[in-house]
Structure 1
Amino acid sequence: MEGLPVNSPKEVKEIFRDFMKRRAGLIKALTTDFRKVYQQCDPEKEHLCLYGLPNETWAVSVPAEQVPVEVPEPTLGINFVRDTMPEKDWLSLVALHSDSWLIAVAFYFGAVLRINKTDRKQLFQMINDLPTINEALLSYANQPNDHSGTHNSSSEIKSSRKTRQSENHTSKPMKMTMPPKEDERGVEEYKDEHEHDLTLCGACREVYIAGEFWICCDTCEEWFHGACVRITPAKAKHIEQYKCPGCSRKRTRN
């Protein structure tokens, strides 16, 4: 499979970065690029796999020819069952297999590095702190609005409010079960750069999907679906300091 790295990651934080990038590519494939993936998974073609690549893109391709393969291969032949089940069930099936493949690749690299018990636990904890691809897919599918390009302005408002908010407030660190070691600061910085992958709505606790309209509370710094707090993109443009319902109630009680 072209595009797979020739050299394996050299340390745990590189394994996690590789996991995050492949994960981002697969989420894109099964949400915003779903139609392209569906069309490429033609049952008339030979066995195909869905790959998440380490540059945050995806590819539908036949498996590698070399034996043994450089890294574990994704589930083979996902295209053969495409037309034998409802579209959403097929999509969920691919997501589940993609989640399994990502963990297999990460722990394969860990085995190559011969990481110890503590590093394995930490790698699993960092992975487990993220929503699965299937969870991200379900969140995306349950949104009341369609997922077309009409939501670009919404994502721009989310980004611009994040920029203004970060200028006035100190960013909160990512919550982890065990504190990062000194040499793992790069992992935390990478997670901060990809915060949209980790963000959960403060109201419904669903994961953020690119293109949705979200708004950030300037008091507690939590993000919310606009629909969950009854704020539209047009209304958000006229709000200088947004306070979520929870923070508003606290102020009333005080």
Structure 2
Amino acid sequence: MDGGAYNPRTVEEVFRDFKGRRAALIKALTTDVEEFYQQCDPEKENLCLYGFPSEQWEVNLPAEEVPPELPEPALGINFARDGMQDKDWLSLVAVHSDAWLLSVAFYFGARFGFDKSDRKRLFGMINDLPTVFEVVTGVAKKQGKESHSSNKPKSNSKRGSEPQVVKYSKGLISKDEDEGEGEDEDEEGLEEEDEEEHGETLCGACGESYAADEFWICCDICEKWFHGKCVKITPARAEHIKQYKCPSCSNKRARS
């Protein structure tokens, strides 16, 4: 629907457009899921879920012009809302959203004459990101753990039981850090272990990977990790949260 205002012409621009739309759709299906659910009223006409390069999403009627300026998302997602379980419905919308994202990206590629190497490079950049479906269903997190587990060397130097992780700070901090002499050395070692262990962790909201210089928070219910900025939690606020529940888990409890 917003295709007329922005037309990316290079591989990098199309990929940036793809990432913005993808982030918007993931937001609708995870952190904003309650609002998305309410907007998809089955009593309304055929509705579509749109994601924009600005990372904003919208539920609206399809474009009236034929053919449309851009490929259109799946039509009538609201009609299926009450006919299946919430998680199955969200998964279905996620699958259609993935198909729409690819169609938009390669529409731009065709429109601006991407050759074989450009198309291959664009697909490679897209394929390096988890799909919307993988993020929404948690498959991306599972795949990241399996990949990390298969690549991690075995070591007998692990200190006692696996340290619990505090949900705030720059990077991650262990709850069972030793105090007193040698504290700085232990903290440095733990930070390196945390960076290695969480290197493949993916944000449950945007699907991007863990970075040590970013603030993260873990949901105590589903145990998914989130960028603080994605769930609007700051380090200062996290210090006062005894049990953090992500938007998705909070909404599930509210509906039940």
Task: Give yes or no for TM over 0.5.
Answer: yes
Look up the match of 1:60: 59
What CA distance in whole angstroms lies between the structure 1 residues aligned with 2:138 and 2:104?
Answer: 25
Contact kept in structure 1, 2:50 and 2:60, CA below 8 Å: yes
Gaps of 5+ in 2: 143-165, 173-194, 224-234, 240-256
SS at match of 1:101: helix
What CA distance in whole angstroms lies between the structure 2 residues aligned with 1:217 and 1:18?
Answer: 26
Task: Report the AA paired with residue 134 of structure 1.
Answer: F
Q: What is the deviation of 1:107?
A: 0.3
Matches within 5 A, 1:171-182: none
What CA distance in whole angstroms lies between the structure 2 residues aligned with 1:32 and 1:201?
Answer: 27
Matches within 5 A, 1:153-164: 154=167, 157=168, 160-161=170-171
Q: Which of 195, 201, 209 is residue 204 of structure 2 equivalent to?
A: 209
> Residue deviations 1:1-43, cap 9 Å, x none?
3x44434212111100000000010010000000111100000
Gaps of 5+ in 1: 144-152, 163-199, 238-254
1:130 aligns to 2:129 (yes or no): yes
Q: What is the deviation of 1:138?
A: 1.8
What CA distance in whole angstroms lies between the structure 1 residues aligned with 2:34 and 2:25?
Answer: 13
Superposition RMSD in Å: 3.8
What CA distance in whole angstroms lies between the structure 2 residues aligned with 1:63 and 1:224?
Answer: 37
What CA distance in whole angstroms lies between the structure 2 residues aligned with 1:215 and 1:49?
Answer: 31
Look up the match of 1:188: none
Moved over 4 A (4+): 140-143, 203-206, 214-218, 223-228
Q: What is the deviation of 1:104?
A: 0.5
Look up the match of 2:85: 86
SS at match of 2:35: helix
SS at match of 1:137: helix
Contact kept in structure 2, 1:215 and 1:224, CA below 8 Å: no
SS at match of 1:114: coil
TM-score by length of 2: 0.59
SS at match of 1:126: helix
Identity among equivalent pairs (%): 54
Contact kept in structure 1, 2:135 and 2:141, CA below 8 Å: no
> Residue deviations 1:104-158, cap 9 Å, x none?
0000000001100000000000000001111111229989xxxxxxxxx94xx35
**Would the alpha carbon gap of residues 216 and 68 (structure 1) be closer, same or farther in structure 2, given more than 3 Å must change?**
closer
Look up the match of 1:31: 30
